[in-house]
Structure 1
Amino acid sequence: MARAVDVAKYILSKTGEMTAMKLQKLVYYSQAWSLVWDESPLFEDDIQAWANGPVVQVLYDYHKGQFKVNEDTFFDGDVDALTPNQKDSVEKVLEVLQNKSGQWLSELTHMESPWKEARGNLKPTERCSEVIPLAAMHEYYSSL
């Protein structure tokens, strides 16, 4: 199975440099829509409900302290770890969302139940490492 770092590198191979926040949200939405369209996760790495929206800690560890990221940031990512079908799913997400800003995508996630439910009653700026369950993502996005 592909890893989140493989998905991140694939996204950046298609889009070029972007903010770390935007990449995190595109990886999140790629996972969400893969659950709906392909009925399986793209990767097994957890997605946490951070204050600025969903974040894959593993990816954060690569780009910590960087505002912008590119393919080189994820030096050991392997785009060939994704199947052609998985690449197609990611590309469909990019068609719709790649022109949105990281802030816009973050605000979108804040309106959706998977992130809100994982955070519970926390204040908007409070730290949180609660995992967003794949089942919650599948249920929410398949209802849209």
Structure 2
Amino acid sequence: MNKNMTFCEQCRDDVLYIEKDEIMEANLKGEIYRYAGKRAFCKECNSEVFVSNINDYNLKNLYNEFRKQNNIISLEHILEIPKKYNIGKRPLSLLLGWGEQTFSRYCDGDMPTKQYSMILERIFNEPSYYLELLESNKDRLKSKSTYDKSKEATKMLILEQHSCNESKIDSVVNYLLHECEDITPLALQKILYYIQGFYYAFLNNFIFEENCEAWVHGPVFRDIYYKYKEYRFDPIIGYDISNTSDLSVSEKAVIDSVIKNLGCYSGKILEAFTHAEMPWLETRGDLPLSVGTNRVIEKGLIADYFMAVKEKNNMINPSDIGDYSKKMFEQILNNR
């Protein structure tokens, strides 16, 4: 049969069909999702016909939309994990302490739970995290060669990652300049700080290596300050969107949520937020508000504070950052 032919119920015959792109809706687990799909129509009578590969295409796009809206790791990332770390599907399941066929089922399209999805997304993005799992759980693997091959592949990934870490903060800045309207140097500094803190809270790792300092107007990343200081109180213009391609899905999820929930406030409001938070306060100590300093806000302080914020506010995923920003804004208003 011609690949563009299918059976038409109206014509009662195999017919040629045409495809039409369409925004479709479907109910999945009690929620309605809109996604880009296709429909097929008989060229003879114009009635809709069933085509298995179009049905598969629609289901794939529907599930992709579900994954996207519910922060579930994509099938593409799942399939990439064993390739990245040079390990088979079954050994990976064993390493993680899951059922022997669990990861294979995910590769076939089964949807992981949010808990398993977070583990897999972190493995995909963080070779150092995977290496920790590999070392601590190597006794679960059935052969030493499996461990050796995977460890070698992981060490190479870590070396590659370290070589590009220096530009990560620049990638984040360019992404912010592209996504945010009228962002000033003051607001940029505070948003970078919140990205650093909340990324650690949700992924137990810092998104960039650079330290920030407890300046008069809040946390500041020194190199970024000097790069954009000429704009003073004006919005920054110009960005290189090509320098954002190394941002992962999980990184963009945190960044997008910070933009949505904190980027709506002015730089001065965000400054007030940081002045009420432990990392900036503890780093400055007894220094008067108007006295400058280059004291580094220790990453441990940032980690402890934002982990505590996450637990106190029962945050499950980055979209919950909005609860914290609303509480901080109310606190600032009440103190004025």
Tell me if TM exceeds 0.5. Answer: yes
Partner Cα separation in structure 2 for residue 34 and residue 55 of structure 1: 17
- Correspondence list, 1:84-99, <5 A: 84-99=249-264
Q: 1:31 aligns with which of 196, 210, 226?
A: 196
Partner Cα separation in structure 2 for residue 45 and residue 38 of structure 1: 17
Partner Cα separation in structure 1 for residue 219 and residue 174 of structure 2: 18
1:44 equivalent to 2:209? Answer yes
Residue ranges of structure 1 left out of the alignment (5+ in a row): none
Map of 2:303 onto structure 1: 138
Q: Which one-letter code corresponds to 2:234 in the other structure?
A: K
Q: Which one-letter code corresponds to 1:38 in the other structure?
A: L
- Correspondence list, 1:51-62, <5 A: 51-62=216-227
Q: Structure 1 residues 63 and 77, CA, compared in 2 at 3 Å: closer, same or farther?
A: farther
Residue ranges of structure 2 left out of the alignment (5+ in a row): 1-164, 310-336
1:129 equivalent to 2:294? Answer yes
Is the partner of 2:230 in helix, strand or coil? coil
Q: 1:70 Cα shift?
A: 3.3
Partner Cα separation in structure 1 for residue 175 and residue 187 of structure 2: 14
Partner Cα separation in structure 1 for residue 247 and residue 283 of structure 2: 28
| 4+ residue segments displaced more than 4 Å | 74-77
Are 2:175 and 2:241, in contact at CA under 8 Å, matched by a contact in 1?
no
Are 1:17 and 1:69, in contact at CA under 8 Å, matched by a contact in 2?
yes
Q: Which one-letter code corresponds to 2:236 in the other structure?
A: N
Deviations 1:40-87 (A, max 9, x none): 111111111000000100101111231234352x55982112212101
Q: Structure 1 residues 77 and 127, CA, compared in 2 at 3 Å: closer, same or farther?
A: farther
Q: 2:269 aligns with which of 104, 126, 129?
A: 104
- Correspondence list, 1:13-24, <5 A: 13-24=178-189
1:70 equivalent to 2:239? Answer no
More strand by share: 2
Bigger shift: residues 74-83 or 123-132: 74-83
Map of 2:174 onto structure 1: 9
Map of 2:65 onto structure 1: none
Q: Which one-letter code corresponds to 1:70 in the other structure?
A: I
Q: Structure 1 residues 65 and 77, CA, compared in 2 at 3 Å: closer, same or farther?
A: farther
Q: 1:16 Cα shift?
A: 2.8
Partner Cα separation in structure 2 for residue 123 and residue 18 of structure 1: 28
Q: Structure 1 residues 77 and 140, CA, compared in 2 at 3 Å: closer, same or farther?
A: farther
Partner Cα separation in structure 2 for residue 124 and residue 3 of structure 1: 31
